[in-house]
Each structure stands twice: as structure tokens, then as C-alpha cells.
Amino acid sequence: AQSVTQLGSHVSVSEGALVLLRCNYSSSVPPYLFWYVQYPNQGLQLLLKYTSAATLVKGINGFEAEFKKSETSFHLTKPSAHMSDAAEYFCAVSDMGDMRFGAGTRLTVKP
């Protein structure tokens, strides 16, 4: 079965600093990988997805993620954090719609 592990349940950065949220996957087949963001009391919003077309995936709000097969990783980055980036971030892996989520990482942005 496919799964993802998010390293770090809480990440705190200063405004303007690099954001790095870590995700490692386990899959017996080439994975489809996703990052979602969830703001308080709101639904899931897709940030980006990897479907094997390109290893560097650019998403919304300045986020991007790089698929590294050798490291089984799909870390999410943003060069400069904004206060509005404070939210819960979920990494997910999907096999024909059967999507499994990581535990989530809460991002705090300090002024």
C-alpha cells in the first residue's frame, strides 16, 4: 500500500524566510503525489501535483516541489514566506483515486 510521511508536525519560519516542508513517500509503483493546503475552518485546496511529467512541479502561491526518486521525497518549498502562508499542509499519494494523506504540517509564519 502507498503511504506518505511528513517530517515535522510543526514548522515555524520568519516572514521572508525559506519555507521547507518535508514529505517522503512509499510506493511500489510510480506515484502520483500531491500537496494540499488547508486554512482554518476551510476545505482542502490543491497546491500542486506530480504526475511524472516533470520532476520540478510549480504550484499556486509561489510554492513548488521536487520529486526525487532516489530519496523517495517530494518536499514542498517557497523562497519567501508570507504571513498568509500560515496554514496546515498535507502531502498525499494517490493510486487511481485512492488517496492517502500524511499527518500534516502546521506552518507558522512569524512577523
Partner 1 sequence: SAVISQKPSRDICQRGTSLTIQCQVDSQVTMMFWYRQQPGQSLTLIATANQGSEATYESGFVIDKFPISRPNLTFSTLTVSNMSPEDSSIYLCSAYSGLAGANEQFFGPGTRLTVL
Q: Which of residues 92-111 bind partner 1 (CB under 8 A)?
A: 94, 96-104
**Which of 97/111 has CB closer to partner 1?**
97
CA 94 to the chain's CA centroid: 14
Rounded to whole angstroms, how far apart are CA atoms 38 and 32?
20
Question: Judged by CB under 8 A, does residue 8 bind partner 1?
Answer: no
Total interface residues for partner 1 by CB under 8 A: 16
**Which of 8/104 has CB closer to partner 1?**
104
**Range 36-42, long-range pairs (CB < 8 A, 24+ positions):** 36/89, 36/90, 36/92, 36/101, 37/61, 37/87, 37/88, 37/89, 37/90, 38/87, 38/88, 38/89, 38/90, 38/104, 39/87, 39/88, 40/87
User: Nearest distance from residue 92's CB to partner 1, in Å?
Assistant: 8
User: Nearest distance from residue 101's CB to partner 1, in Å?
Assistant: 5
Q: Which of residues 32-91 bind partner 1 (CB under 8 A)?
A: 32, 34, 43-44, 51, 90
**Applying CB under 8 A, which residues contact partner 1?**
32, 34, 43-44, 51, 90, 94, 96-104
